[in-house]
A and B are shown apart, each in its own frame.
Chain A
Amino acid sequence: MAVLLIAEHNNKELRPFTLNAATAASQIDSDVHAVIIGQNSADAAKQLSELPVVKKVLSVEGAHYENFTAENFAPVIVKLAENYSHIICSANTFGKNLMPRIAAHLDTSQVSDIIKVISPDTFLRPIYAGNAFATIKSNDVKKCVTIRPTSFDPCESTGGSAPIEKVDASEEFSNTKFIKREEIKSDRPELGTARIVVSGGRGMQSGDNFKLITEIADKLGAAIGASRAAVDAGYISNDHQVGQTGKVVVPDLYIAVGISGAIQHLAGMKESKVIVAINKDGEAPIFSVADYGLEADLFEALPQFMEELNKLNTIQK
């Protein structure tokens, strides 16, 4: 039986992690169908049809799908699930919100946030904030699986030409009403996919001081991250949070500034290829995962860092 991938999009285009989820889906079975549910989402559906790993696109349109409400999405997918062995989606807030609602309707025990497909019924997933890895075998007939997007490479985005089939909309769920979405717009790369991430913690002491990080991030073409402590203190908005309950990032370079390195933060960044820690407390746990540790006052180190970067002839982007 084929695998059903749930596309994440903004009605205009696919969200990037749909490509990572498509890769995971194709590792389970080569017959991947993708469902896109939205309002005026034809362009995104076309994009989906161009992914070479996708063999068929199912498009569901309706005004009540405009804001991706799980209560409206779940019944559509539950109905489609009849023809599929697996339902796959990214384990970001979209998929985390939606998939368990589908799984419960299908009476299936969901496997959350997998980092590896071992076989079509067996998966590797982190538990305890990534301090242990569990190998999980699902004995359910239908498997609902969310994937950790940063653990799978994005699939090719062009070259395919899957047929797009219309599917009837389901009824509207009237007890949930969308009011507004406040998206923080930024010219910087997205935190989840950036090649370099510069993150600040409680050591930054104020939101204003984050400009020291912003400068360096601009210079490096990096995304800006933060520890939970910095978000809780109001220095920066929640969409920057890296950690167990925030985002998981695996950039080529992660620079942690004024972050002590609680287990919950390490969970979100310790798979990064190169980790730099700048902290004045030489005993801070962040140094235990850092490739390069600098024990220094960040208010002296960051301006110097900027100066040193300015001296370089070239900086990789």
Chain B
Amino acid sequence: MKILVAVKRVIDYNVQIRVKEDGTGVVTDNVKMSTNPPDDNAIEEAVKIKEAGKATEVVAVTVGEEKAQETVRKALAVGADRGIHVKVDGVLEPLAVSKILQKIVDKEKPDLVFMGKQAIDDDCNQTGQMLSALLNWPQATFASKIDVKDNKLEVTREIDEGLETIEINVPAIVTCDLRLNEPRYASLPNIMKAKKKPIEEIAASDLGVDVSPRLEQLKVEEPPKRKAGIKVANVAELVQKLKNEAKVI
């Protein structure tokens, strides 16, 4: 079984983002970037499946500008076998990314495609579902547990009401939740080794995919700020304020 894992480079989850003064977006210059957190879970799961002898190859793919390659390199350092970097400038919408990934799937013919359930920058939560629609493959979104059984996967999904378990036939798409596993850290020797692993570079323009934007971002602004609150001295004061001032209990 061959697993393709899609990873995205985003502003690190610990960074407090700043909105640009001209309202065109958020500040990304000199800001720490990392792999989208649930994409780390996706890589980890693929590597674990390979380590368990149930997969033969793990290929990491990213779609993005020059520096997006760092995320592929990181995936290689934690156990992916090789990488693919689809180069494109600017920000692509999930629909365009899923069309590009469809081309990579056509070429690589993986049995499974894993990715994070959502990117923490645009918070769209679309790419995996869109890719499975384009391929007409089954989709297991928000996965918190994956059991590989021959040509099937049993996947536990996190849903609003609790948990749901489905069985999907391979080939299939899985989007990963943060609770799927605990991503490992790359060791220094593995980081060094990863530098020798191959990354194929493909220009998005060579894939014959229409990636032109359908959405216009007219403005990005700061959300309304909350008024500063007060500290109360003790529990009695707190309850009194809730009762008589805020009138919520």
Binding site for B on A (CB under 8 A): 69-71, 74, 91-94, 96-105, 107-113, 122, 126-140, 173, 175-184, 192, 196, 220, 228, 231-232, 237-239, 244-245, 247, 252-253, 263-264, 270, 273-276, 282, 287, 289-296, 301, 304-305, 307-309, 312, 315-316
Contact = CB atoms under 8 A, between A and B. Distances in A.
Contact of A275 (B144, B221, B229): B229
Contact of B248 (A274, A287, A296): A274
Contact of A97 (B38, B124, B142, B231): B142
Given A128-B123, A175-B137, A107 B235 contact: no
Contacts of B133: 74, 100-105
Interface of B: 11, 13-14, 16-17, 19, 26, 38, 93-95, 98, 117-118, 120-134, 137-139, 141-142, 144, 154, 157-169, 172, 177-179, 213-223, 226-227, 229-232, 234-236, 238-239, 241-243, 246, 248-249
B11 A122 contact: no
A180 B94 contact: no
A101 B136 CA distance: 9
Contact of B216 (A98, A136, A293): A136
B249 A132 contact: no
A179 B235 contact: no
A270 B223 CA distance: 11
Given A139-B215, A140-B214, A294 B162 contact: no
Contacts of B126: 99-100, 103, 110, 112
Nearest to B95: A109
Given A112-B123, A263-B16, A192 B216 contact: no
Contact of B249 (A94, A126, A253, A301): A253
Top 5 A-B pairs ranked by shortest CB distance? A100-B129, A104-B133, A109-B214, A104-B130, A100-B126
A137 B239 contact: no
Given A108-B214, A128-B26, 12 more contacts: A71-B132, A126-B223, A132-B222, A136-B216, A139-B214, A176-B166, A239-B160, A252-B248, A290-B229, A291-B230, A292-B231, A315-B249
B160 A245 contact: no
A247 to B, nearest CB: 7
A183 B161 contact: yes
